Amino acid sequence: MKKVVFGSLMILLFAGFSYADPATRNQLDGVWTGIVYHDDDGYPMEVRIEIRGNRVIQYFGNNGEWEPVEPDEDYYINNRNNFVYLWVAKGGVWSETQVYSLSFINEKTMNVVWMRHVNNYHNGSDNEDWHLSGQGQLSKQ
């Protein structure tokens, strides 16, 4: 009897929850800008990404101008209202990965968690790696 009552209460409890509808493609498409604050020192970093269908372009600010990032590889994955944009670039002795984990709040706002990993390991030299992370919000333009 106790199991039946407990199970019935749990069903009633979860039946009362409502879930957000998944974001539609036209809600995501567009230019999103905002500030990501570094977790370790609170440093503000301006972020601009543009979502077009299944493609995402990230831009770096340079003297008031936005220049697109041209990574060696990039990926965009979405499921319901959560999205991941990831890109990888490499130079002569270094490699870099940046990950943007995006959470759709509404048609004008997304939360973002950002991670950056740079690896400078190579033979016979000063090996170095560093990792940054941060979080903030992006607004649709």
Domain boundaries, the chain: 24-140
Beta strands in the chain (DSSP E): 30-38, 44-52, 55-62, 65-68, 73-79, 82-90, 95-106, 109-119, 129-140
- pLDDT tops 90 at residue 111: yes
Domain 24-140 has CATH 2.40.160: yes
Average of per-residue pLDDT values in the chain: 83
- Range 10-33 average pLDDT: 67
| Whole-structure pTM value | 0.76
Segments in the chain forming alpha helices (H): 2-15, 25-28
Q: What is the tens place of the pLDDT at every residue in 39-78?
A: 999 999 999 999 998 889 999 887 889 999 999 999 999 8
The gap between the terminal CA atoms of the chain, to the nearest Å, is 56
User: Tokens 């740079």 belong to which residue?
Assistant: 118
Of the listed ranges 29-38, 47-56, 89-98, the one predicted with least confidence: 89-98
- Range 96-118 average pLDDT: 94
